[in-house]
Amino acid sequence: MNLIVGNGHRKWPYGCPRRGRTAIAAAIWLLLGIGAEARPASLDDLFGEGPPKLRGSVHRLKIPLPRPRPAEAPTAEPEGPAAARPDTRPDKPAEQASPAAPQPSACRAALTEEIAIAPSIPDILGPGGCGGTDLVRLEAIVLPDKHRVAVTPAATLRCSMASVIADWVRTDIAPLAAKLGGEISVLDNFDSYECRGFNRIPGAHLSEHGRANALDVRSFKFVDGRTISLTDRGVPRDLRETILHSVCARFMTVLGPGSDWYHEDHIHLDRAERRNNYRICQWNVYDPLPQIAPLMPAGRPEEAPPREVAAKSDAKTAVKPDADKERPEAAKPDGVEPPKKPTTKKRR
């Protein structure tokens, strides 16, 4: 850019032709976003008549004012912190409501404290399919007379299995104990939930114990200190048979003495689901053992029939004599002696 040294004026004149002013005005309207109805007629209406006097004063621009706010426009919200003002952005997703607590199952709702003390416990998701859902810790069974039968130790079971156990004790075992002149106080729990295979054999199919769907019962204890062991042959046989019929009618699997040697000292109960509701009841109720083991065979009863005796045969049944005696002596001719056996002398 060339400048005149004397007065500092630019070489080119300050004036601008009208065509140039119109182009500049159009560019300004576009930059300011002013509609056609609000635009001034020309650049002169914006800057005034004549060129702007830039030396010694600032020329005022005639900027159009914004249109007044319509009467039907909503009132402005008071200023405040951003957190106090609700966010009305349409793209913001609605806040998700907190998930509602899971509703208890029908079994859980029916297994009240009037039937059993069985608090719910979290679901168990163990390896190989172990565990289950809707689990409880069966601590005691409440009899109709409000007396409690403690489960020692507490059993981890599915709610459905715990409900059947409670009903069995309340309906069958408690009246049976009353006939014996006692009241049950403890159910001896031999095993409940345990993540393992059949009979704890490595590689075997998952046991119902691993599904929290089985209970091993060893005995019942009375308030007066007596104990009924379900596999004790000293317990009256009719009592054990009554318990056998009660459990086989309620549970899908019953294993006891005679099923295998793993269940000789307890009774296994479970609610396994099988095709066509197939049930297994293998529990041999053996006769009581004699009080005193016999040391000698018992004597023959007098009323026993006489023993049969073999008849004597006419033929001689004597024992055969020695070989030398069996042979008859050969006839010896007169004056002739039998030959003598040769003798051999031992050489030294």
Type of residue numbered 170: R
pLDDT(113) > 80? yes
Strands 148-158 and 184-191: parallel
Instruction: Classify residue 90: in a domain, yes or no.
Output: no
pLDDT(215) > 90? yes
Average pLDDT over residues 36-61: 52
Residue range of the domain that includes 231: 106-282
Average pLDDT over residues 15-41: 62
Instruction: Classify residue 37: in a domain, yes or no.
Output: yes
Mean pLDDT of the chain: 78
- Take residue 3 and report the two structure tokens written for it: 């400048």
Instruction: Classify residue 334: in a domain, yes or no.
Output: no
Are 204 and 135 in contact by the 8 Å Cβ rule? The answer is no
Whether 111 and 234 share a structural domain: yes
**pLDDT tens, residue by residue, 298-345:** 788 888 888 887 766 555 555 555 545 455 555 555 555 666 665 555
- Take residue 302 and report the two structure tokens written for it: 């007098």
Instruction: Classify residue 36: in a domain, yes or no.
Output: yes
Q: Which of 237, 253, 282 is the last residue of a domain?
A: 282
Burial class (CB in 10 A: 0-12, 13-18, 19+), 16: middle
The DSSP line for 13-39 is -S---HHHHHHHHHHHHHHHT--GGGS
Instruction: Classify residue 174: in a domain, yes or no.
Output: yes
pLDDT(107) > 70? yes
Instruction: Classify residue 195: in a domain, yes or no.
Output: yes
Q: Which of 230, 257, 282 is the last residue of a domain?
A: 282
Whether 127 and 27 share a structural domain: no
Backbone angles phi, psi at 36, to 5 degrees: -65, -30
Whether 223 and 140 share a structural domain: yes
Beta strands in the chain (DSSP E): 116-117, 120-121, 124-125, 131-132, 135-142, 148-158, 184-191, 214-222, 227-229, 253-255, 267-270, 280-282
- Take residue 205 and report the two structure tokens written for it: 């199919």
Whether 184 and 43 share a structural domain: no
pLDDT at 58: 44
Pairwise pLDDT comparison (324 vs 176), residue with the higher score: 176
Q: Which of 282, 316, 340 is the last residue of a domain?
A: 282
Q: Is the pTM of this model over 0.75?
A: no
Domain count, the chain: 2
Q: Alpha-carbon distance 214 to 169, whole Å? A: 15
